[in-house]
Structure 1
């Protein structure tokens, strides 16, 4: 690839609004198999399709996570959810990655902790297909369905960790999201209902039935929703606490099942 072609690509990306045009150009060049592929990829990105969907992967917790078209792209802030879960997970634990999307959270936990029993769940068939490609190498299983309904009933009362990056954007706030998220990521993965907490309520409500005594539910939320998520956890009998990372603008509510 000559310098002139690279400069043309950078200019095309920059004029389309890509803030990190130089870095993105390098990734597109590296990911293209032919010049025709590169031209198509540049136009896709210039048209607003998320870079990760164009090149087919993202970097997450040191892993290369496969990203298919129309699958939610894991954000850097969600690495904080993984780190909080790592502190609470032991060798051999049963871990459920709820609303798993690409499967990035479960894959990252399995890669770091080694032997865990991983179950990933999503209602979106596209996400389930994508997650399967990311977690099977770690011995994980992925299920399609509506939250806990997708899981084998034999897991009730035995799960050590439930992690959930459930959608928490209020419906009316979706129109304020960046264009590439609004247009190219599934609304199912963004829309949390009127106050953004519908899915969190549902995940929390059934958690005590599935968690082992002393097990933990960890949910990513926003800083301004944290007090509400905290109350949701408390109201159904979980012992909640807040974990916050200002650098990543990441907030996680951790609920512990007191058991019997």
Structure 2
């Protein structure tokens, strides 16, 4: 496997995805970026990393198939998949909107299931590949008012473990990251649910982190870079937790 590979990053219009795309490009990979929203930002990012933008909803099977075909035509078969796109809504469990529940499952779990199915044949033909699933610490320990999100992320963790066993013999290494509190715009959802300001939410979460700070997008991008690189060949079906030591979500 050469040092330069074709990478596809979902959910790349902002947050972890955009930083990860830039990091992978800096590592020498040819990068395709996907998102359902922020098409202007997505195309600008593609220009910055010298790659290609493939906008679309990964919950749409036809869009997923077209996306993978477009990447293959422009750059070659996907060799590194960063499954980062996510949908999130918060509410008490008994008040949960079924449509929101299934939307989170469709994007976070089923969408990436279909996307992985779409890229694996190309990886098998090449004899190598990396699947990097962005799960969540909430998929490990749960979180109040986020049952659908946590359940879908827990499903991603189980999916990763199964893929590691099934695809490892083909040279395709599947691993997951399960971060806790990342300082991104997504914290606005948490703050709204808690009825407090964004800065109060940041401080509440900082108080739960033994190292005393929230994870940054650069922290997660560095972990993605590691899993995509030559030094991670011993990791198969693993769940790495760049959480700063977080073991709980409420004081």
- TM bin, normalised by shorter chain, reads 0.3 to 0.5
Q: Structure 2 length as normaliser, TM-score?
A: 0.46
Larger RCO, structures 1/2 (Cα 8 Å, 6+ apart): 2
TM-score, structure 1 normalization: 0.44
